[in-house]
A and B are shown apart, each in its own frame.
Chain A
Amino acid sequence: MADKNSCAALYHTHEQAEEAVRALQKTAFDVKKISIIGKGYHHEEHPIGFYDTGDRVKFWGVQGVFWDGVRGLLLGAATFWVPGLGPVVMAGPLVTSLVDALKGTVAVAGLSALGAALHSISIPKDSIIHYETALKSNHYLIIVHGDQKEAERAHGVLAASEPIDVVIHLS
């Protein structure tokens, strides 16, 4: 289960999101506490998927390089088809929360499995709706988990990386 406090930032492009993750890494953030979520595709005509040819699981799609790079940086990764959102690719501690939500151990009325996972880390419903809408619009969400001080420190880094929005969520 991820920490209950977090700092969440939305980005227009995967380049901006990757830059933000690297900025966090440069300022000595524990990469095990960073999650990133995005949709796996921009256009329905491109195939997406993941495969394992004996080396390690790799992402197939127009953003394969990005997601494989992110997987190399962060802890854990997953690709799910979430009803209402479509294919969602994520990496980091939030994967555990989403798995719990999909298994039904975390359920919140009126929220999708992804929404329930976000709710389980103290993100309020109105922000969840906002994040889901942004993800549907192919934006990227970075979440830094931790205690209040870590969330505040992350805010300082992420706010400087030109996000659409950056918010501290405290439990």
Chain B
Amino acid sequence: MEPKSPFFKESIQCLMQSPLFSSLAPSVIEEMITHCRRETWKRRRLLPMNETWQRFHILLSGRVRLSRSNPETGRMITLFLLGPGDPFCIFSLLDGKPHDVMLETLDDTSLLSLPMEEARQWLSDHPEFNCTLLPYLGEQMCNLAGLAADLALHDTETRLARLILRHVDTTALQQKHISPHLINNLSNESLAEMIGSVRVVVNRQLQHWKQEGIIDTHRGYLRVEKLDDLAQLAELRLARTAGTAPATL
């Protein structure tokens, strides 16, 4: 993307707010963006990773989910839900291989894209990027480990409570009503696919919490009314299973 593009500044601002890129100097970010091209993908674009892994992508707006499915049963599990500032095909950046992951856009998205070879070259030219890349990868691995632990150790109610709590802005805890980010306005089916459940179970659980005043839902938008109760639900279950509450969700 050329610096004269009207989307250039917008792209810099987006990356400067991303945990992965925010510690880089603006000049380094600018230089990286000049290597990229801008793309827009329509909502509900569904494609296997073997069509995307040869380019490195950074989301500028919209959400993308990476999932795996069982073609025989149609069951699907969401591995990552990505938002603005998040990269994808990052594992292919590291190992140079495609991965068995399905990619789907949940909104109209805009993104930056550059060939994987150029991304690797950029990575080797800017070792300071590793200072943020490694913690980012560590967090992604923790998220995957958390998902595996949730699926193996906890029931649906706890998993759903933990999913919502993971997406609550911790700086907004003093507010009376808190809307989770990224997962808001997702369908119940999509929420179910994030916790290894099915739509009817998630729907029933959300209705139950709504009746108890823990959450409020309106046209797909979710609002937490009693955060402490929701946290307590997750922690109670955790206390029963593991004996101690986790440091993080």
Contact = CB atoms under 8 A, between A and B. Distances in A.
Contact of A124 (B1, B6, B7, B42): B42
A79 interface: no
B37 A159 contact: yes
Contacts of A170: 39-42, 45
The interface size bin for chain B is 10 to 19
Interface string A121-149: 01111110010000000000000000000
A122 B39 CA distance: 12
B39 A169 contact: yes
A127 B2 CA distance: 16
B108 A124 contact: yes
A167 interface: yes
Contact of A165 (B6, B42, B45): B6
B6 A130 contact: yes
Contacts of B38: 165-168
B41 A164 contact: no
Contacts of A164: 4-6
Contacts, number: 48
Interface residues of A, number: 18
Interface in B36-84: 37-42, 45, 61
B37 A166 contact: yes
A164 B37 CA distance: 13
A171 interface: yes
B132 interface: no
What 5 A-B pairs come out closest when comparing CB atoms? A124-B108, A165-B5, A168-B39, A167-B38, A171-B42
Contacts of B7: 130, 165, 167
B2 A123 contact: no
A106 B38 CA distance: 27
Nearest to A134: B6
Contacts of A168: 37-40
B184 interface: no
Contacts of A167: 7, 37-40
A155 interface: yes
Nearest to A162: B2
Given A124-B40, A124-B110, A166-B37, A171 B45 contact: yes
* Residue with the greatest number of chain B CB neighbours at <10 A, chosen from A123, A125, A164, A165: A165
Nearest to B107: A124
A125 B2 CA distance: 22
B221 to A, nearest CB: 20
A127 B6 CA distance: 11
Contacts of B6: 130, 164-165
A124 B61 CA distance: 11
A12 to B, nearest CB: 10
A122 B2 CA distance: 23
Nearest to B55: A152
Contacts of A122: 40, 42
A168 B55 CA distance: 14
Contacts of B5: 164-165
A149 to B, nearest CB: 11
Given A127-B110, A163-B2, A169-B40, 19 more contacts: A122-B40, A123-B40, A124-B42, A126-B61, A130-B6, A155-B37, A159-B37, A164-B4, A164-B5, A164-B6, A165-B2, A165-B4, A166-B37, A166-B38, A167-B38, A170-B40, A170-B42, A171-B42, A171-B45
21 contacts: A122-B40, A122-B42, A124-B42, A125-B108, A155-B37, A159-B37, A163-B2, A164-B5, A165-B1, A165-B5, A165-B38, A167-B7, A167-B37, A167-B39, A167-B40, A168-B37, A168-B38, A168-B39, A170-B39, A171-B42, A171-B45
